[in-house]
Amino acid sequence: MNHSNSATSYRPSRPMLCRYYNTNGYCFYGDQCQFVHAKPPSNDVRTATDKNFNVGSNNASSFHRSSSLPAFNSAVNNGHLSSKGLRGDGGFKSNALGTTTNDSFVSGMGQLSISTNKIAPGSLGGHGSPMSPSKRAFTSSLAPGGPVSPLHSPKPSLGSPKPQHNPLTSQAFEFLPSAANQSLPQAPLHSQAQAPGPQQMESIGGTTYFYTQQAQQQPAVLFPSYQAYVSEPAHLAHLQSSQSRNNAFSMSGQIRQELIHQHTLSMAQLDPDDQSVPQEVDSYHTLCPIEPLDTPTDQAQRTFGYMTTCYKATNSKDGLTYVLRRIHSFRLVNAKSMVLVDQWKKVSHSNLVSLREVFTTKAFGDNSLIFVYDFHPGAETLLMKHFSGPDSNLGVGPDGSLLFPSTSRPLGVHSRHRPGHRSPMPERLIWSYIIQLSSALRTVHAAGLACRVIDPSKILLIGNSRLRINGCGIFDVLSFDASNSPNAMIPHFQQEDLTSLGKLILALACYSLQAVQREHIQQSLEYMAMNYSADLKNLIIYLLSSPLPAHMKSVNDVMPMIGARFYTQLDAAQIKCDILEGELAKEMENGRLFRVLCKMGTINERPEFSMDPSWSETGDRYLLKLFRDYLFHQVTENGAPWLDLAHIVACLNKLEAGTSEKVCLVSRDEQSVLVVSYRDLKTCFEGAFNEILSASLT
């Protein structure tokens, strides 16, 4: 490396200063340099230059970028690269000695956002400017007519970089409301447009050039600032179990009927003339019986050994509806049993009816114990659903065996049934019951409790296949023994829960409660094996078997027997969630339009406002009156009323969105014709309603 001397050496020179000589007093090219070797005007300029731009040590191999940065700074024009930016180089270079640029510097410069239109003075993309005021003055004096060439070597003939379009700053997002704009996933949609392109390297004449390849421009995504009805999702439209989609504005008729039936049961009340039920019990009022009263002849069939009655009641503290299960003529002698009640209050599961409260009362004329549970309208017990028909009672042969309605079923051949008898229950439905009941038992047993009510009369069926175990905690209070620990008998009762589950499954498979009697269990298992799979038979045998002292039965052992059938149940539950979500989306739009109609109703035909009886007939309110007639009072050419729900829905959506579409409004006497846009109508609509709202708040 030869140090140059500008005083003695002769060389052809250009009327431009050499940046290497200005920085360190020497030049890499020595006498061969084509630029003027002159000292900087003052030491202050050199000090500022070294302080801000000298990357690395002050040796000959250090890479100084003092000439490239002024070119970059002058190329920023209105947020985009100008045609003279970087003189067509499109990147940064290294010197000819093989010293490459600093990776952190290159990556940092490559990530600078130069496409934004809002750059604070003295900053680049929100970062502090790397150029001091003295440096900017010095570099601008070097290039009066344009940017200085970054290096003394030939440049590749690369086109000027194209202006980058930033969709985040485009005018398209001005139509978004502030609330929606904050919740939209903007960054993931446009991350590819903002990310810098890959670094490219090219060597020409011994000099390595680094530049960033322009990334492909990503299309801007526009989000509407309004809401409207959308088509049904494709995954719901193509479901085989979906019903006819003849109504796109409201929920299906089946779901509506189910909800109406539940609401009707929730609003049922007792006859006011009936004085057999007290008007208020503790904090509960409006009692209404929801099941037939027990009679003395049914005492042998009572589950709890006491006469019980269920009432629907409303809690005056929270206004919610609950079920009160009354235990007749029971005196609570030991309050320690409330310890188990507190444990039951903490148990929550989707297949359990939650216990809320237990208290005693004399409102019925005796000492009664009240258990408060959640109310599930429209639910029926498994006893009423599957074991209340005439086919539930099987005949008994001369030898004492049961006369089942069907014969054996060979492989691939459906079983034949005698006329008047129903077919066996579908096995997938039985497995659905097993999965739900075992899931509830698993939660209860994990909490250190036992259900003790796995009985067809105490298991509720909601809808087609949703089960809930009812009456949990009652046996714990009625049979509480103060001489023993409250949890001493829990392991024994948990084994009884599993045995009761096996009996219930066997009864469902045989469609009769007679099948679980001790003398008929073996025959019932043989009948069940002829109509169902071996897995179901093995599960029932495991649940009915006596536990071994070394290995007690556990509800966790049921899961391996269920196997892959669990996924079928999970798939059915998710499909139902999708269907209900689709129906909810329809009603969400209906609620939105209902609010628009409520606002319009408070404005139209208002008798008086602010002592002005003609307020609703003048100004902007007159346009809304004409729009109301256009919306609801359309007629045909013959003068007959024209009813079209699609017309009403479409016009209300356009009004709320404030579109630029114009509508022709005609007065009732046909003397006035006004052509306005929905945007103008929305302005009038919001202004009139805000007047009423402001007056109501003062």
Dihedral, 551, 553, 559, 560 alpha carbons, nearest 10: 40
Range list of β-strands (E), 430-481 = 459-462, 466-469
User: Which amino acid, 258?
Assistant: E
User: Which amino acid, 66?
Assistant: S
- The binding site for ATP comprises 325, 374-381, 457-458
CA–CA dist 469, 454 (Å, integer): 7
Residue with tokens 């045995």: 499
What are the CB-based long-range contacts (under 8 Å, 24+) for 308-311? 311/277, 311/287
Residue with tokens 């066997």: 506
Q: How far apart, in Å, do the first and last CA atoms of the chain sit?
A: 87
Contact assessment for residue 308 and residue 480, using Cβ atoms and an 8 Å cutoff: no
CA–CA dist 553, 440 (Å, integer): 16
- Residue 505, H or E segment: helix 490-510
The CA-atom distances, in angstroms, between 246 and each of 3, 223, 401, 588 are 90, 29, 53, 18
Coil vs helix vs strand at 547: coil
Residue with tokens 């002592």: 611
Contact assessment for residue 415 and residue 427, using Cβ atoms and an 8 Å cutoff: no
352 token code pair: 């359990």
Residue (of 653, 669, 594, 666) closest to 627 by Cα position = 666
Contacts for 685 with CB less than 8 Å, ≥ 6 apart: 599, 600, 603, 624, 655
Coil vs helix vs strand at 397: coil
Residue 199 has, within 13 A of its CA and on its CB side, a CA count of 16
Contacts for 92 with CB less than 8 Å, ≥ 6 apart: 65, 68, 101, 106, 109, 150, 209, 210, 211
User: Which amino acid, 465?
Assistant: S
Residue with tokens 């019980």: 308
What are the CB-based long-range contacts (under 8 Å, 24+) for 193-196? 193/164, 193/165, 193/166, 193/167, 193/217, 193/218, 194/113, 194/166, 194/168, 196/110, 196/111
Contact assessment for residue 92 and residue 68, using Cβ atoms and an 8 Å cutoff: yes
CA–CA dist 444, 350 (Å, integer): 12
- The binding site comprises 325, 374-381, 457-458
Residue with tokens 């409790």: 449
